[in-house]
Amino acid sequence: MEEGPYKYIRDGNGKVSRVIRIGTRKSQLARIQTDSVAEKLKELYPDIHLEIVAMSTTGDKILDTALSKIGEKSLFTKELENALDRNEVDLVVHSLKDLPTALPPGFTIGAVLKRESPYDAVVLHPKNVGKTLDVLPENSVVGTSSLRRAAQLKKRFPHLHFKDIRGNLNTRLKKLDEKEDFAAIILAAAGLRRMGWENRISQILEPGDCMYAVGQGALAVEVRARDTDILEMVSVLHDHDTVLRCIAERAFLRHLEGGCSVPVAVHTEVKDGQLYLTGAVYSLDGSDSLKDTMQTMNHTHLEEVDEQVQRVGVTAHKISGEVQDRAERLGVDLANLLLSKGAKEILTVARQLNDAR
C-alpha cells in the first residue's frame, strides 16, 4: 500500500512496516553490490522489508563512445537520482568512484562502506597467461576506458599500446577472450573480486605502476538529504577509515576540478592515527606529471558529534566532525600544492586534447 511518498506492507499478523526500496543499475556487478548492501541492512535490521528496483542508465546505454568523451559527470547515476527524487526508491547503491564530487541539491551519501581493494588489475588474453605487462610483446594492445590508467601506464610501459574498451565487466571480458584485439585489459580489482572472478587477475598494479581513482573500491549509499530516518538507518554502514580516506580524495579532486575527462589519481592510507594522501595529475600520454604526498595528524577518538551536514557530498554524523574536517582540508591543501606547481596547465591541456580526439 502507498501512503504519501512511502510504501508500506502488512504482514500476516496485521503489522504494518515500511518497505525500503533500493535502486540499482541493471548490470550484474551493480546487482551484486546492491545485494551485498541489502544483506548488511537485513542483518542489522531483521524486521525491515527491502525491495530492489533495477534500472538502465545513460552510461549503460552509450557503449560505443569513450567515457571521457561523453563529458557527462553523472553518467551512471542520473537516472537513479531521478528515481530517488521522485520517491520511487529510498536509497541507491553506487560505486563511489561513479559519484561526482558535488551531488545535486537534496541528495547526500549516507554511507561509505569498508573499501575493497582500490587497486587496478591486469586481466590477460588466455594466450598470454602467466605474463605481466613488463613482458608482453612490443606493441601489444591493452584495453582501458580510463584516461587515468592510460596516462600512467603509457609512461611506465612505453612498449605497449593503449586503446579504449567500453562495456560492463562481462562485455569487456568477452571482448578480450573471444577476439584477438587485446593482449590484456585493465579493470578495477574490486569489481572482479565482487563478481567472483579473482582467478582472472594476473597482476595487481601497485601504486608505483598505477595509482587508483578517487573513491575506487568503495561502495556508497546515496539517499535524500531530508530523509533523516533513512539517513540514520544507513549511517551504521559507514566505515571510519574509508570515510576519511574518501573525503580527502574527493576534496582533492573537487579542488582540482577534475572529473572523468582528466587523468587524476590518488593513494591514501591511515597509519598510526594519521591520514596520508598522495595525489597526482598527468598529461594524456603521461609524459608530464605532478605528484606529491601530504599527511594529517588524526586523533582518531575525538568523541564530539558532527553537526555539519555534508563534506564533498558525504554525511557521517557518527564520525568526529573535526577529523572529517582535517581529511577534507588535507585534500584541498594537496590540490593547492599541485596547483601551485602548475597542475591547472597540465589538466587544461589534457582536457583540450581529449575533447579534440
Catalytic residue among 98, 120, 227, 239: 98
pLDDT, mean of residues 15-26 = 86
Is 151's pLDDT higher than 50?
Answer: yes
- Give me the pLDDT at residue 69, please: 45
Cell of 348: 587544461
pLDDT tens digits along 318-357:
898 899 999 999 999 999 999 999 999 999 988 888 887 7
Q: Give residue for cell 563512445.
A: 65
| Alpha carbon distance 133, 40 (integer Å) | 37
| Alpha carbon distance 312, 250 (integer Å) | 6
Q: Is the dihedral of CA 85, 91, 93, 99 positive or negative?
A: positive
Q: Which amino acid is located at 250 in the chain?
A: R
Q: Name the least confident of 96-110, 122-136, 173-187, 297-311.
A: 297-311
Instruction: Determine whether 292 is an active site residue.
Output: no
pTM: 0.89
In degrees rounded to 5, what are phi and psi of residue 337? -60, -45
Q: Which amino acid is located at 46 in the chain?
A: P
Is 67's pLDDT higher than 50?
Answer: no
Cell of 245: 580516506
Q: Which of 163, 152, 157, 260 is nearest to 216 (CA)?
A: 260
CA distance to 267, 278, 306, 337, per residue, from 293 (Å): 9, 4, 27, 10
Cell of 168: 560492463
Is 292's pLDDT higher than 90?
Answer: yes
Is 131's pLDDT higher than 50?
Answer: yes
| Alpha carbon distance 39, 219 (integer Å) | 14
Q: What percent of the chain has pLDDT over 90?
A: 70
